[in-house]
């Protein structure tokens, strides 16, 4: 896909700002580089609880050229946007021809890298029963329909049954795998008629920590009054004031195994459909066991440095948001965005790629067809701190081919969108194996908001232009009207004076319009008026102003004219009318009376004076026509 002679693995994953995703991606990227594979991460954030925003995020499913992927890894359990997983799987089924690996959530028709959630909490539960002698064990599950939650709850029930401990439904509470329901669970159980639990097993660490905080807020100590355990071993599990007993899931190793699985399949080796990786139970203070804290922090940086970095990012993004406010042009936006890319030292490559016609998109239309548009425009391109100009390239390449390196490439792709309108995407690469900078989500929101501001500004400009054009246009013929003549005629008069050039003023009347209306209806009259207008437009090949002045009257104003040029205009005009009469199926012919003059205006001249002179000549021609007609009738 990246045309550097290496196979490319596509990874579909959401919410990369969470710890599990970071470990998983680290494992994928590390092993891919070791085995000489490219990686293209197709990412989204989600979790906005807004259907229209989720629609824009979910368009990441349509971005890759599935046919060009040599392997696919999909983290199905965290594709939280409704319909996103189904959309990706449909593309895989209909368009890809490569090995597919699902992580953490089994998919029957593909390969899977899993942990056994039916056993993951088993050692902790047995530990509470056998080592601490607990028999009143409560369980804080995840969402009721979540597969991981279901299997971990089944584990809880199975182990309790083995020890003949009654399963009481009031001791089970369905949480959210996040930081809200843990507090609610504490209140629910403390108000229960059942005796206080001796231990609470939580289906993940986030709920365990918030549950512990709420218990202690209510005066209940952990583990002295109630023991608590979690699952997943997030960073806070060790650093929390009461170190959390938990189960360490091998997320980084799962990423590596996913790449290994694809590599073995591509080599033609026999491969098991499912790979189960072992977990590790870690007993710490929250269950009542002694735990010797590591004097060295997990991170090489002190905790206050991490907080300081977060604060810096928040301030920087707030400034970025304020600094980008009010931008209405692509050029200004590109310039300021380059500044922020250079300011972020973690990037090696940054490409903002937009659909060719993104500025003409509307919220009222389904713009999904633009995702199949083969042409992209790289508006901002920075590689190794070198700035590149605008480049057009094929969407199937994802990045401009001239930026391909002879080494494994790892890129993250994220959609740029606002309120359902998709503008394009951003592609980034880092100088180290990592997953996004601290506040990349805010970055993308800032950039998308500016693009939307530019789009709206251009849309409003187009509407204003359209309204202005309607204001100075004749509705029937499309020629300029009186207002148009007044506005544009004055401009031509001024230019004529400045250039010391002559104006050509032509006035024309459609002959016998009333007769045509009386005999062929107003529809016939409209046809005749449009024929004159079309003939004038045909003759006007040098920016002449063609006007329907009202009724059957027409006016033309031409700049930098002499007599030869004026007569050429009239020949073309009358010739086009004659052509209409010869080829028309209508029972009437279209003729005009006209007069013209060449005017060398000065600062005292007006358009009205020039028109009056041309009108005088036109009426003279009409009189001559009438006299000729009269003599013809007398002779007959």
> Which structure tokens are listed for 414?
């994220």
pLDDT > 60? residue 626: no
Question: Quick one: average pLDDT of 339-347?
Answer: 75
User: Highest-confidence range of 156-170, 328-342, 393-407, 609-623, by mean pLDDT?
Assistant: 156-170
pLDDT at 612: 77
Strand partners, 276: 114
Model pLDDT, residue 636: 34
- CATH code of the domain covering residue 573: 3.30.70.270
440/521 same-domain check? no
* pLDDT-derived band at 438, boundaries 50, 70, 90: low
What is the C-alpha separation between 41 and 12, in angstroms, rounded? Answer: 6
Is residue 347 within 8 A of residue 431, CB to CB? The reply is yes
Question: Within this chain, do residues 417 and 443 fall inside the same structural domain, yes or no?
Answer: yes
Question: Of the candidates 596, 514, 588, which has an alpha carbon nearest to the alpha carbon of residue 552?
Answer: 514
74-92: pLDDT as tens digits: 999 888 888 999 999 999 9
Distances (CA, A) of 272 to 10, 260, 262: 21, 12, 11
Domain annotation covers residue 140: yes
Which two three-digit tokens encode residue 312?
A: 């810096």
pLDDT at 300: 46
- Residue 267 maps to a domain: no
Q: Please indicate, yes or no, whether residues 449 and 507 belong to a single structural domain of this protein.
A: no
Listed residues 400, 426, 459: the one ending a domain: 459
Judge if 83 and 156 occupy the same domain. Answer: no
Q: Which residues contact 604 (CB under 8 A, 6 or more apart)?
A: none
Encoded tokens for 544: 């002449």
State mean pLDDT over 91-102: 96
**What share of the chain has pLDDT > 70, as a percent?**
89
pLDDT per residue as tens digits for the range 570-625: 999 999 999 999 998 899 999 998 888 888 888 777 777 767 776 777 677 666 65
How far apart are alpha carbons 50 and 114 in whole angstroms? 31
Say which residue, 430 or 187, is predicted with more confidence. 187
Count of CB atoms situated within 10 Å of the CB of 382 = 19
493 vs 490: CA distance, rounded Å: 5
Is 13 part of any domain? yes
pLDDT at residue number 303: 47
How do residues 33-66 score in pLDDT, each as one tens digit? Answer: 999 999 999 999 876 667 888 888 899 999 999 9
Please state the rounded mean pLDDT for residues 3-14: 93
Query: What does the alpha-carbon distance between residue 70 and residue 55 come to, in Å, rounded to a whole number?
Result: 27
How does strand 410-418 pair with strand 421-430? Answer: antiparallel
In a domain, 273, yes or no: no
Could you report the per-residue pLDDT of 368-380, keeping only the tens digit for each?
444 545 789 999 9
Query: According to the model, what pLDDT value does residue 631 have?
Result: 46
CATH number, domain at 137? 3.40.50.2300
The pLDDT > 90 percentage for the chain reads: 56
Cis peptide before 80 (omega within 30 of 0): no
Tell me the mean pLDDT in the region 135-155.
94
Considering the domain architecture, whether residues 572 and 625 belong to the same structural domain is answered as yes
Domain boundary among 459, 482, 513: 459
Neighbours of 70 (CB within 10 A): 19
Question: What would the pLDDT profile of 526-585 be if each residue is shown by its tens digit?
Answer: 999 999 999 999 999 999 999 999 899 999 999 999 999 999 999 999 999 999 999 988
Q: Is the pLDDT of residue 634 over 80?
A: no
SS3 286: helix
Indicate if 311 and 333 belong to the same structural domain. Answer: yes
Q: Are 534 and 576 a contacting pair, CB within 8 Å?
A: yes
Residues 387 and 486 in one domain: no
Tokens representing residue 550 in the block? 């009202």
633 band by pLDDT with thresholds 50, 70 and 90: very low
Same domain for 631 and 503: yes
Q: Where are the alpha helices (DSSP H) in 3-141?
A: 19-34, 51-58, 84-95, 122-130
29 assigned to some structural domain: yes
The pLDDT, as a whole number, for residue 51 is 81
Nearest residue to 211 (alpha-carbon basis) of 176, 239, 248, 169 = 176
41 near 441, Cβ under 8 Å?
Answer: no
Residue 375 forms part of a structural domain: yes
Within a domain: 289 = no
Kindly state whether residues 80 and 165 are assigned to the same domain: no
Spatial CB neighbours of 404, under 8 Å, sequence gap ≥ 6: 2, 3, 4
What is the total count of domains within the chain?
A: 3
- Say yes or no: 512 and 562 in one domain: yes
Q: Would residue 166 count as lying in a domain? A: yes
- Beta carbons of 225 and 136 less than 8 angstroms apart: no
Report the 3 state secondary structure along 339-395. HHHHHCCCEEEEEEEEECCHHHCCCCCCHHHHHHCCEEEEEEEEECCEEECCEEEEH
What b-and-e string marks burial along 125-155, b requiring 16 or more CB atoms within 10 Å of the CB? Answer: bebbbeeeebebbbbbbbbeebebbbbbbeb
CB-CB contact of 244 with 210 (8 Å): no
Q: What is the pLDDT of residue 406?
A: 87
Instruction: Give the pLDDT mean for 232-236.
Output: 88
| Structure-model confidence comparison of residues 150 and 616, the more confident one | 150
The residue range of the domain holding 535 is 473-635
Structure-model confidence comparison of residues 385 and 284, the more confident one: 284
What does the pLDDT look like over 118-133, one tens digit per residue? 999 999 999 999 999 9
- Both 323 and 432 in one domain: the answer is yes
Tens of pLDDT, residue by residue over 276-330, are 999 999 999 999 998 776 655 544 444 445 556 666 666 777 777 777 888 888 8
Q: What is the pLDDT of residues 506-522, one digit of tens each?
A: 989 999 999 999 999 99
pTM of the model: 0.75
Report d(CA 41, CA 194) in Å as an integer.
Answer: 49
**Residue 481 and residue 577 in one domain:** yes
Contact between residue 245 and residue 229 where contact means Cβ atoms under 8 Å apart: yes
When the pLDDT of each residue in the chain is averaged and rounded to a whole number, the result is 87
Q: In this structure, what DSSP letter does residue 141 have?
A: E
């Amino acid at each position: 896909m990246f045309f550097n002679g290496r196979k490319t693995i596509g990874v579909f994953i959401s919410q990369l700002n969470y710890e599990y995703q970071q470990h998983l991606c680290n494992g994928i990227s590390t092993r891919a580089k070791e085995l000489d594979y490219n990686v293209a991460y197709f990412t989204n954030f989600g979790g906005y609880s807004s259907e229209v925003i989720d629609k824009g995020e979910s368009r990441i499913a349509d971005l890759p050229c599935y046919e060009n992927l040599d392997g696919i890894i999909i983290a199905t359990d965290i594709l939280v946007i409704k319909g996103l997983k189904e959309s990706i799987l449909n593309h895989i089924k209909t368009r890809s021809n490569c090995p597919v690996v699902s992580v953490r959530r089994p998919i029957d028709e593909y390969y899977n890298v899993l942990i056994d959630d039916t056993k993951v909490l088993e050692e902790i539960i047995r530990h509470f029963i056998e080592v601490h002698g607990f028999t009143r064990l409560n369980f804080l599950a995840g969402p009721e329909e979540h597969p991981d939650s279901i299997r971990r709850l089944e584990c809880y029930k199975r182990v309790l049954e083995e020890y003949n401990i009654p399963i009481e439904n009031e001791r089970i509470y369905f949480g959210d795998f996040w930081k809200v329901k843990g507090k609610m669970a504490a209140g629910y159980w403390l108000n229960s008629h059942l005796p206080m639990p001796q231990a609470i097993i939580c289906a993940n660490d986030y709920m365990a920590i918030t549950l512990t905080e709420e218990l202690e807020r209510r005066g209940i100590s952990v583990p002295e009054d109630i023991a608590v355990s979690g699952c997943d071993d997030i960073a806070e599990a060790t650093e929390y004031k009461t170190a959390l007993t938990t189960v360490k899931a091998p997320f980084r190793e799962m990423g590596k195994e996913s790449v290994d699985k694809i590599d073995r399949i591509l080599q033609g080796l026999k491969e098991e459909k499912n790979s189960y990786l072992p977990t590790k139970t870690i007993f710490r203070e929250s269950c009542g066991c002694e735990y010797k804290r590591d004097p060295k922090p997990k991170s090489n940086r002190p905790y206050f440095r991490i907080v300081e970095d977060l604060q810096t990012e928040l301030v920087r993004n707030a400034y970025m948001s304020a600094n980008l406010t009010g931008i209405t042009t692509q050029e200004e936006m590109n310039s300021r965005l380059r500044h922020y890319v250079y300011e972020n030292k973690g990037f090696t490559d940054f490409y903002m790629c937009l659909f060719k016609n993104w500025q003409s998109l509307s919220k009222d239309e389904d713009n999904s067809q633009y995702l199949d548009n083969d042409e992209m425009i790289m508006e901002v391109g920075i590689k190794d701190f070198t700035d590149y100009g605008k480049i057009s390239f094929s969407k199937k390449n994802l990045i401009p081919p001239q930026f391909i390196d002879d080494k494994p490439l790892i890129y993250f792709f994220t959609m740029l969108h606002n309120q359902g309108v998709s503008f394009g995407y951003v592609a980034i690469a880092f100088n180290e194996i990592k997953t996004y900078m601290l506040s990349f989500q805010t970055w993308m929101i800032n950039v998308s908001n500016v693009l939307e501001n530019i789009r709206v500004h251009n849309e409003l400009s187009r509407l204003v232009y359209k309204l202005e054009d309607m204001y100075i246009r004749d509705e029937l013929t499309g020629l300029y009207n009186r207002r148009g003549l007044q506005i544009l005629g004055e401009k031509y008069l001024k230019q004529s004076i400045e250039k010391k050039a002559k104006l050509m003023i032509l006035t024309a009347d459609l002959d016998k319009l009333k007769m045509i209306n009386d005999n062929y209806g107003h529809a016939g009259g409209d046809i005749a008026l449009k024929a004159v207008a079309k003939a004038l437009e045909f003759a006007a090949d040098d920016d002449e102003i063609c006007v329907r002045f009202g009724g059957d009257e027409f006016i033309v104003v031409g700049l930098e004219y002499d007599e030869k040029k004026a007569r050429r205009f009239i020949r073309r005009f009358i010739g086009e009318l004659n052509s209409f009469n010869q080829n028309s199926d209508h029972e009437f012919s279209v003729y005009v009376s006209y007069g013209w003059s060449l005017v060398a205006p000065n600062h005292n001249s007006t358009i009205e004076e020039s028109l009056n002179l041309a009108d005088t000549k036109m009426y003279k021609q009409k009189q001559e026509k009438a006299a000729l007609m009269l003599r013809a009738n007398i002779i007959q």
